[in-house]
Amino acid sequence: MSDPRAGQLVLVTTPIGNARDITLRGLDLLREADVLVAEDTRSLRRLMDIHGVPVGGRPLLAYHDHSGAKMRDKVLSHLALGALVVYASEAGTPLIADPGYDLVQVARAAGHGVTSAPGPSAAVTALSIAGLPTDRFFFEGFMPSAKGARRKVLQSLVAVPGTLIFYESPKRLEKSLGDMAEILGEDRAAVVARELTKRFEEIRAGTLAELCRLVAETPPKGEIVILVGPAPARNISPEEITRMLTAALASQSAKDAVAEVTAATGAPRRQVYKQALAILGKS
């Protein structure tokens, strides 16, 4: 019987700091792959070395979305020949603020199976230990480094009714926290999670204003995730919700209109839904 993994692309998640966070299945796949593809071939080699998995004579290809169609064609031709191809990014889950999106797209479009050996991602690791609400969250990843563009992104996130998650470099942390305090609100609860799973792992929690002061006094080094608690529900009148719903219902489905107005106002979804039914004469 033929190996069901032949001609498959498998995304293997690698550790975000502690090399022992590779999964047993991830190691099996690194051992058994016919072709290895990595965002950073040196760090994949190092990880495999630590775990005693030799690369041997197997192809180890460097891939970025920018390495372009040529490298994707190469991977596709291996898949077409029935190779088990494993792809890993430098750290954490591939495609999460990392390359691989175009590769997954073309592999799927060409009819190849694409699956995953999951593992850590800094965003979810930070969220799970931050002590901020986890029921709804919004991953922004890296914000633009230009101040104007960064502030525009933050303005679009003001009313998101869930915890916001950002990746940030230590160099830009102070400026980003300053913009967040100004635009999202000084009193919003926030966390700076640093060096997760590593020796100097640290969680600093406080309001955005407090974190700005703390970071200015003792600038942190290393890898950083910023989390900001959900927007406080605005005190919005039922009449205002009806007005917004009427406008939204003119151009979209009831489901989308309810989702949009719930997100924009922070009002309970059930209340917005009930008012939408009343407008549509279905209550």
Judged by the rule CB under 6 A, the positions of this chain that interact with ligand SAM are 16-17, 89, 91-93, 96-98, 121-123, 167-168, 193-198, 223-225
Helix runs in the chain, H state only: 24-32, 41-50, 68-80, 101-109, 122-130, 147-156, 173-184, 208-217, 238-249, 254-265, 269-279
Q: Which residue is nearest to ligand SAM (CB)?
A: 92
Instruction: Find the shortest distance in angstroms from Cβ 239 to ligand SAM.
Output: 43
CA distance 128 to 273: 30
CA distance 259 to 261: 6
Instruction: Find the shortest distance in angstroms from Cβ 91 to ligand SAM.
Output: 5
CA distance 274 to 213: 44
Instruction: Find the shortest distance in angstroms from Cβ 72 to ligand SAM.
Output: 19
In the complex with ligand SAM, which residue's Cβ is closer, 151 or 198?
198
Indicate the DSSP class of residue 21.
Answer: G
In the complex with ligand SAM, which residue's Cβ is closer, 228 or 276?
228
CA distance 136 to 155: 19
Cβ 89 vs Cβ 14: under 8 Å? yes
Cβ 30 vs Cβ 86: under 8 Å? yes
Q: Coil, helix or strand for 133?
A: coil
Instruction: Find the shortest distance in angstroms from Cβ 223 to ligand SAM.
Output: 4
In the complex with ligand SAM, which residue's Cβ is closer, 101 or 156?
101
Instruction: Find the shortest distance in angstroms from Cβ 135 to ligand SAM.
Output: 21
In the complex with ligand SAM, which residue's Cβ is closer, 94 or 161?
94
Instruction: Find the shortest distance in angstroms from Cβ 116 to ligand SAM.
Output: 12
In the complex with ligand SAM, which residue's Cβ is closer, 185 or 220?
220
Q: Coil, helix or strand for 92?
A: strand
Instruction: Find the shortest distance in angstroms from Cβ 225 to ligand SAM.
Output: 5
> Measured between alpha carbons, how far is residue 53 from residues 21, 29, 32 in Å?
15, 10, 10
Q: Coil, helix or strand for 280?
A: coil
**What are the φ/ψ torsions at residue 4 (nearest 5 degrees)?**
-65, -15
Relative to beta strand 163-168, strand 137-142 is parallel
In the complex with ligand SAM, which residue's Cβ is closer, 134 or 252?
134
In the complex with ligand SAM, which residue's Cβ is closer, 91 or 191?
91
